Amino acid sequence: MTDSNVTVDIEELVIETLKELAGEPDAVTADATLEQIDVDSLDLAELSQVVEEKLGVTLKGSDVAEVTTVADAIALIQGRMGQ
């Protein structure tokens, strides 16, 4: 799998998971803030579990606490996969 395919897969996984968790699923885009889509810390914990299960990437609570947009979540996961 190429890097661009991995990036697309991560973005798709994050967006689809957040659509399931969000209070405003139609508003979930890479540019959306978590506040705009009504995602809270419990939703981020669930996203972390999905990411670990599907991608084998562990996200720490302190890392997730810094996430304010969907794009931040995607970038965090991409960074963890590169380590």
Q: What confidence tens digit (pLDDT) does each residue in 18-31 have?
A: 999 999 999 999 99
pLDDT at 43: 95
Q: Global pTM?
A: 0.86
For residue 55, give every residue at least 6 positions away whose Cβ sits within 8 Å of its Cβ, in sequence order, or none: 10, 13, 77, 81
pLDDT at 61: 87
pLDDT in tens, 16-63: 999 999 999 999 999 999 999 999 999 999 999 999 999 999 998 898
pLDDT at 82: 79
